[in-house]
Amino acid sequence: MYQLPLLVELLCEELPPKALKKLEIAFSQTLLAQLQNLGLAGAKSEVFAFATPRRLGAGIGDVACRAADKAVQQKLMPVSVGLDAAGNATPALAKKLQSLGVAADAVAAAVANLKRVSDGKAENLVYEAIVPGATLAEGLQQALTETIAKLPIPKVMTYQLADGWTDVKFVRPAHGLIALHGADIVPVTALGLTAGRTTQGHRFESKQPIISIKNAESYLEQMHDEGAVMVSYDLRRLMIKNQLGMAASLAGIGLQAIDDEALLDEVTSLVERPNVLTCEFEKEFLNVPQECLILTMKANQKYFPLLDAKGKLSNKFLVVSNISPSDPSAVIEGNERVVRPRLADAKFFFDQDRKRTLESRVEGLAKVVYHNKLGTQGERSARVAAIARGIVHQLSAATLPFTVQAKDEFEVLASKVEQAARLAKTDLLTDMVGEFPELQGIMGGYYARHDGLRDGVAIAIEDHYKPRFAGDALPRNHTGTVVALADKLETLVGMFGIGNLPTGDKDPFALRRHALGVTRMLVEKNLALDLNHLLKSAFTCFEDKLEANQDKACEALITFIYERFAGSLREQGYSAQEVDAVFSLKPSRLGDVPKRLEAVRAFADLPESTALAAANKRVGNILKKVEGTVTASVNTSLLKEQAEIDLNAALALVQPLSDKAYEAGDYTGSLKALAALKAPVDAFFEHVMVNTEDAALKVNRLGLLATLHAAMNRVADLSKLAA
Distance separating alpha carbons of residues 9 and 28, to the nearest angstrom: 10
Q: How confident is the model at residue 319 (pLDDT cuts 50, 70, 90)?
A: very high
Return the amino acid letter for 229: V
Q: How far is CA 590 from CA 107, 302, 463, 555, 626, in A?
A: 73, 42, 22, 16, 32
Per DSSP, the three-state class of 53 is: coil
Q: How confident is the model at residue 401 (pLDDT cuts 50, 70, 90)?
A: very low
Distance separating alpha carbons of residues 75 and 718, to the nearest angstrom: 52
Q: Per-residue pLDDT tens for 154-196?
A: 999 999 998 888 999 999 999 999 999 999 999 999 999 999 9
Distance separating alpha carbons of residues 576 and 633, to the nearest angstrom: 33
Q: How confident is the model at residue 407 (pLDDT cuts 50, 70, 90)?
A: low
Identify any residues that bridge with 549 across adjacent strands, giving them in sequence order: none
Identify whether the C-beta of residue 58 lies closer than 8 Å to the C-beta of residue 23.
Answer: no
What was the pLDDT predicted at 403? 52
What was the pLDDT predicted at 226? 96
Over residues 401-422, mean pLDDT:
76
Q: Looking at the chain, which residues constitute the CATH 1.10.730 domain(s)?
A: 592-721
What was the pLDDT predicted at 86? 82
Identify whether the C-beta of residue 56 lies closer than 8 Å to the C-beta of residue 9.
Answer: yes
Q: Per-residue pLDDT tens for 232-279?
A: 999 999 999 999 999 999 999 999 999 999 999 999 999 999 999 999
Q: Give CA torsion, residues 634, 637, 638, 643, to 10 deg.
A: 80
Nearby residues of 82 by Cβ (< 8 Å), 6 or more positions away: 76, 89, 90, 92, 93, 96, 114, 125
Backbone φ and ψ of 352, nearest 5°: -65, -40
pLDDT exceeds cutoff 70 at 50: yes
Question: For strand 174-181 and strand 157-160, is the pairing parallel, antiparallel, or unpaired?
Answer: unpaired
What was the pLDDT predicted at 674? 92
Q: How confident is the model at residue 408 (pLDDT cuts 50, 70, 90)?
A: low
Over residues 79-91, mean pLDDT:
86
For residue 241, count other CB atoms closer than 10 A to its CB. 16
pLDDT exceeds cutoff 70 at 548: no
What was the pLDDT predicted at 79? 84
Q: How confident is the model at residue 398 (pLDDT cuts 50, 70, 90)?
A: low
Distance separating alpha carbons of residues 654 and 669, to the nearest angstrom: 11
Selection from 44, 46, 33 nearest residue 5 by Cα: 46
Distance separating alpha carbons of residues 439 and 450, to the nearest angstrom: 16
Per DSSP, the three-state class of 122 is: coil
**Orientation of helix 593-604 relative to helix 550-571, angle to 10°:** 50
What was the pLDDT predicted at 112? 82
Q: Looking at the chain, which residues constitute the CATH 3.30.70 domain(s)?
A: 3-67+135-225
Over residues 317-337, mean pLDDT:
96
Q: How confident is the model at residue 115 (pLDDT cuts 50, 70, 90)?
A: confident
Mean pLDDT over all residues of the chain? 92
pLDDT exceeds cutoff 70 at 2: no
* CATH fold for the domain made of 592-721: Isoleucyl-tRNA Synthetase; Domain 1 (1.10.730)
Distance separating alpha carbons of residues 316 and 332, to the nearest angstrom: 12
Identify any residues that bridge with 257 across adjacent strands, giving them in sequence order: 306
Nearby residues of 398 by Cβ (< 8 Å), 6 or more positions away: 528, 529
Q: How confident is the model at residue 437 (pLDDT cuts 50, 70, 90)?
A: very high
Q: How many residues does the chain have?
A: 723
pLDDT exceeds cutoff 60 at 693: yes
pLDDT exceeds cutoff 60 at 402: no
Identify whether the C-beta of residue 181 lies closer than 8 Å to the C-beta of residue 63.
Answer: yes
Over residues 485-507, mean pLDDT:
92
Q: Looking at the chain, which residues constitute the CATH 1.10.3210 domain(s)?
A: 364-573
What was the pLDDT predicted at 406? 54
**Orientation of helix 478-497 relative to helix 377-396, angle to 10°:** 120
Share of the chain above pLDDT 70, in %: 98
Range 364-573 has CATH code 1.10.3210: yes
Q: Per-residue pLDDT tens for 451-486?
A: 999 888 999 999 999 999 888 999 999 999 999 999
Per DSSP, the three-state class of 120 is: coil
What was the pLDDT predicted at 116? 86
- Class of the CATH-defined domain 3-67+135-225: alpha beta
Identify whether the C-beta of residue 323 lies closer than 8 Å to the C-beta of residue 273.
Answer: yes
Distance separating alpha carbons of residues 433 and 439, to the nearest angstrom: 6
